């Protein structure tokens, strides 16, 4: 089979720069500043700072994919960036904690759509065979932001300027929006506005947004603000799960243009890819959110220092993602890389479980490198089992569903981490000390700023309580990572496509599609055969 030979001119690289910068926006710098923000705003609902963001980015992901199919990529991308900028402005101007949560809600709506659109546009321009390398390069943008963000955020928080964590997003949004307007000259679907509106599956979108929000509210509050057996938790969970089931049934039977075609998960390999996505981002968000807690609570690290200390994982994510993509392009195989990455991730979390209050900081930093390589490889590789069994015309819907699962698993990670930390801190902290702080998971972020000023032996007792509580969290994530490895064994290694979806692409000055030289690897009959084989036991 001849290799794919796609010609790319300056317009492609300007679009890629647009995607690179837009993805930069979606990284968060809030984690190291959370203790300071909660202490300043005097709120006891800190978990909503993360959860509101994630709930909205999850619920809007399917809609953004559908809107991109109907209205085109450019207008949806531009609107998403404006939405993120508006949310950043609200966050920066917040005085009560509820206003900050509202701003994070708007930010999340923009972020989820930006992430979805970046991958959809990349899929429009780069064949699956080459996409690993380009996905790795885009992940470099996210990694740079995600690694420098905690340091910048910690520094701003330490100097009482945490609002600039959000204000600094606004000029970046302006640059990204300008690039979208100037260079994202992709083809736009024909049709009147009314016709396009009618094509959107509004009932399906309403069902999935309502059900997702209800489910995630239950997951967010369960075991933290209310007991899991409380009606406050059971009602939204039951309604949410029932709503998601109703959504899937509705999508199979009624809409002519469903936002989640049932064919996306009818193959064993694609289904495995989506499940692995849930596992990956559940464990990775726990590292991002709770490793800074370890450094601040047990190592007396400042917000700035804790941001520097997580460089161990941050600096290996993008290089390992790029190398994994290059390896897949060279070997035309993705299964060995994914299995190997899960093994590294398991080893990394296994090492995390050995961390104690008196463990040298260098050990914790070094252990992150092993886990980071595995997570970085998986972040690029999991697109392949999801997209390989599907025709290129399904890219937008498949990527939107991938973003949905990825963001949904982020809330799972934050929720699981918060529940474990809260429950075990209650057991491990001295009762007369913990009783002076608010209940729920906010107890961790209320205590951390005061640890450096505590007197001995109380200080050592508190540090030990945090280390032992987090050790349980790493044990839980070790088991979850093992489940990811087992799921990966069920997927098959399928051929990687070289063709692109012809209805999308860069327009030249005469409104013609950019010419792409590629070799078709299989016709529609061959595709059907691959799907049938992949669906077999």
59 and 390 in contact (C-beta within 8 Å)?
no
- pLDDT, residue 98, reads 84
* Among 280-289, 423-432, 446-455, the range of highest mean pLDDT: 280-289
- pLDDT, residue 83, reads 93
Give the SS3 label for residue 249.
Answer: helix
Element (H, E) at 114: helix 97-125
Q: Which long-range contacts (CB under 8 A, 24 or more apart) does 20-23 make?
A: 20/137, 20/138, 20/140, 20/141, 21/141, 21/172, 21/175, 21/176, 21/179, 22/77, 22/81, 22/114, 22/117, 22/118, 22/176, 22/180, 23/114, 23/115, 23/118, 23/138, 23/139, 23/141, 23/142
Per-residue tokens: 392: 């290129």
Mean pLDDT (the chain, rounded): 81
Per-residue tokens: 491: 């997927």
Task: Quick: pLDDT tens for 132-152.
Answer: 778 878 877 777 776 677 677
Q: Does domain 10-185+192-201+257-535 have CATH number 1.20.1250.20?
A: yes
Q: Does pLDDT of 534 surpass 50?
A: yes
Per-residue tokens: 123: 């899929």
Residue at token pair 């947004």: 209
Position 77 confidence tier, pLDDT thresholds 50, 70, 90: very high
- pLDDT, residue 354, reads 93
Task: Quick: pLDDT tens for 212-239.
Answer: 889 888 887 776 677 778 888 899 999 9
CA 46 – CA 319 distance, rounded (Å): 33
For the chain, percent of residues with pLDDT exceeding 90? 22
CA 338 – CA 379 distance, rounded (Å): 10
Q: Does pLDDT of 31 surpass 80?
A: no
Task: Quick: pLDDT tens for 234-271.
Answer: 999 999 999 999 988 988 888 888 888 888 888 899 99
Mean pLDDT over residues 79-95, rounded? 91
Give the SS3 label for residue 247.
Answer: helix
Task: Tell the burial category of 501 from Cβ atoms under 10 Å away from its Cβ (0-12, 13-18, 19+).
Answer: middle
Domain residue ranges in the chain: 10-185+192-201+257-535, 202-256
Higher pLDDT, 117 or 508: 117
- pLDDT, residue 189, reads 77
Task: Quick: pLDDT tens for 298-349.
Answer: 887 777 777 677 777 777 887 888 888 889 988 889 999 999 999 999 999 9
Q: Does pLDDT of 48 surpass 90?
A: no
Q: Does pLDDT of 290 surpass 80?
A: yes
Task: Quick: pLDDT tens for 484-532.
Answer: 999 999 999 888 877 776 666 666 544 444 443 343 334 344 444 444 4
- pLDDT, residue 537, reads 43
Beta strands in 261-313 (DSSP E): none
Higher pLDDT, 42 or 123: 123
Per-residue tokens: 149: 């963000």
Position 276 confidence tier, pLDDT thresholds 50, 70, 90: very high
This prediction's pTM: 0.81
């Amino acid at each position: 089979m001849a290799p794919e030979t796609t010609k790319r001119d300056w317009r492609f690289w300007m679009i890629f720069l647009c995607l690179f910068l837009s993805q930069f926006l979606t990284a968060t710098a809030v984690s190291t500043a959370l203790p300071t923000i909660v202490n300043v705003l005097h709120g006891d609902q800190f978990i909503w700072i993360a959860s509101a963001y994630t709930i909205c980015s999850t619920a809007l992901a399917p809609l953004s994919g559908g809107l991109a199919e109907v209205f085109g990529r450019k207008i949806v991308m531009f609107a998403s960036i404006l939405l993120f900028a508006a949310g950043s402005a609200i966050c920066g101007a917040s005085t009560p904690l509820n206003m900050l949560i509202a701003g994070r809600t708007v930010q999340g709506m923009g972020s989820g759509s930006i992430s979805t659109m970046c991958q959809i546009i990349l899929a429009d321009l780069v064949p699956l065979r080459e996409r690993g390398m380009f996905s790795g390069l885009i992940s470099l943008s996210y990694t740079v932001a995600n690694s420098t963000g905690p340091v910048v955020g910690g520094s701003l928080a330490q100097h009482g300027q945490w609002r600039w964590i959000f204000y600094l997003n606004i000029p970046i949004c302006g640059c990204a929006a300008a690039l979208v307007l100037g260079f994202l000259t992709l083809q736009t679907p024909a049709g009147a506005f009314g016709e396009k509106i009618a094509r959107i599956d509004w009932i399906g979108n309403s069902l999935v947004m309502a059900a997702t929000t209800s489910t995630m509210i239950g997951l967010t509050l369960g075991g933290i603000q209310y007991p899991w057996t409380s009606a406050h938790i059971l009602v939204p969970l039951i309604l949410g799960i029932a709503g998601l089931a109703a959504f899937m049934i509705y999508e199979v039977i009624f809409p002519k243009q469903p936002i989640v075609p049932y064919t996306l998960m009818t193959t064993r390999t694609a289904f495995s890819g989506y499940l692995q996505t849930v596992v990956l981002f559940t464990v990775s968000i726990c590292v991002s959110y709770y490793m800074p807690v370890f450094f601040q609570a047990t190592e007396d690290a400042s917000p700035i220092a804790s941001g520097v200390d997580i460089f161990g994982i941050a600096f290996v994510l993008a290089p390992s993602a790029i190398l994994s993509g290059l390896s897949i392009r060279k070997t035309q195989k993705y299964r060995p890389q994914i299995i190997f990455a899960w093994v590294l991730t398991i080893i990394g979390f296994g090492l995390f479980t050995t961390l104690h209050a008196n463990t040298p900081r260098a050990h914790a930093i070094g252990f992150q490198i092993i886990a980071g390589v595995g997570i970085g490889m998986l972040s690029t590789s999991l697109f392949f089992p999801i997209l390989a069994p599907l025709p290129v015309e399904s890219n937008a819907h498949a990527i939107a569903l991938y973003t949905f699962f990825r963001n949904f698993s982020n809330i799972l990670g934050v929720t699981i981490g918060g529940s474990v930390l809260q429950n075990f801190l209650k057991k491990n902290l001295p009762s007369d000390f913990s009783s002076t702080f608010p209940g729920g998971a906010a107890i961790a972020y209320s205590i951390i700023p005061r640890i450096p000023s505590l007197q001995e032996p109380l200080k050592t007792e508190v540090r030990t309580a945090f280390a032992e509580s987090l050790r349980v969290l790493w044990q839980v994530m070790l088991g979850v990572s093992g489940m990811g490895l087992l799921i990966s064994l069920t997927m098959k290694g399928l051929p990687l496509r070289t063709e692109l979806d012809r209805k999308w692409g860069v327009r030249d000055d005469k409104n013609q599609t950019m010419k792409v030289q590629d070799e078709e690897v299989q016709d529609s009959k061959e595709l059907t055969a691959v799907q049938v084989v992949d669906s077999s036991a």
